[in-house]
């Protein structure tokens, strides 16, 4: 009579080999013993299944709000800053005054715009965001839009806030200058520019090692003095 020998285990994958060994043909007189072991093996396999390595990628989510429900059922899009195409655009429908875009893996860690169709952009300003892998970006679309929720998007919003303040201040000064041109107003406009330039340079210099700082510098490089440009370029690894 055949003996009920335990199956030999693989040296590299002992647990998997044990499980597989329980599923092979065995002599009839050992069937009862093997059936019990097989049940235990399947149970253990199912218990450990959630802990097996997976090939999933971190998810990037853009959650947004709008000023009212007038845009219900319209589409909102995330389009890459560089080389946009039909294959590289992610989108979602607006539900009441909210939307949620789950970005494709190939759109992660890129600069891109959150925007609606062109006819609606007169009321809803498009905004640039960085799709940090695994992050959830909070976007508010309005006449003046903003974004936050991840470190790099907080940096981009700081820059945008600085630009908006500069634009408001200089617009008011230029209106005054049309009515009453004075050297004082011209000096105030110049000082506003210098303040804005220093603010932008501080932002890019503090973020020279990340994509937000490099992106802002690439757009605003013409503002800086030759010394600032050289200092930035020498400090970037």
CA 36 to centroid of chain Cα atoms: 50
pLDDT at 100 over 60: yes
**Which architecture characterizes domain 61-149 according to CATH?**
Sandwich (2.60)
The Cβ-side half-sphere exposure at 171, using a 13 Å CA radius, reads 6
Tell me 19's DSSP state: H
3-state secondary structure of 182: coil
Rounded to whole angstroms, the Cα distance separating 75 from 167 reads 30
pLDDT at 236 over 60: yes
Q: 55 and 80 in contact (C-beta within 8 Å)?
A: no
pLDDT at 70 over 70: yes
Nearest to 114, CA basis, from 55, 60, 187, 158:
60
Q: 165 and 159 in contact (C-beta within 8 Å)?
A: no
Supply the mean pLDDT for the chain.
83
pLDDT at 103 over 60: yes
Nearest to 185, CA basis, from 197, 198, 169:
169
Delimit the domains of the chain by residue range. 14-51, 61-149, 152-235
**What's the pLDDT at 33?**
55
Given the DSSP bridges, would you call strands 136-140 and 61-65 parallel, antiparallel or unpaired? Answer: parallel
Of the pLDDT bands very low, low, confident and very high (cuts 50, 70, 90), residue 137 is very high
**What's the pLDDT at 219?**
95
């Amino acid at each position: 009579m055949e003996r009920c020998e335990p199956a030999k285990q693989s040296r590299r994958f002992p647990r998997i080999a044990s499980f597989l060994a329980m599923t092979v043909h065995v002599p009839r007189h050992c069937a009862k013993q093997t059936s019990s072991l097989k049940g235990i093996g399947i149970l253990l396999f199912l218990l450990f299944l959630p802990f097996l390595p997976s090939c999933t990628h971190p998810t990037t989510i853009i959650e947004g709000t709008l000023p009212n429900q007038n845009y219900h059922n319209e589409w909102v899009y995330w389009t890459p800053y560089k080389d946009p195409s039909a294959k590289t655009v992610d989108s979602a429908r607006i539900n009441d005054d909210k939307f949620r875009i789950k970005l494709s893996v190939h759109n992660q860690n890129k600069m891109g715009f959150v925007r609606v169709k062109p006819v609606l952009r007169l009321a809803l300003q498009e905004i640039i965001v960085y799709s940090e892998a695994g992050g959830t970006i909070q976007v508010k679309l309005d006449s003046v839009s903003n974004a936050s929720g991840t470190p790099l998007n907080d940096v981009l919003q700081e820059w945008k806030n600085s630009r908006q303040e500069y634009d408001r201040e200089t617009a008011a000064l230029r209106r005054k200058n049309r009515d009453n041109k004075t050297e004082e107003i011209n000096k105030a406009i110049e000082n506003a520019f210098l303040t804005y330039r220093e603010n932008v340079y501080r932002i890019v210099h503090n973020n020279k090692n990340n994509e937000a700082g490099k992106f802002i510098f690439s757009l605003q490089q013409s503002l800086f003095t030759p010394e600032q440009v050289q200092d930035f370029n020498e400090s970037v690894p």
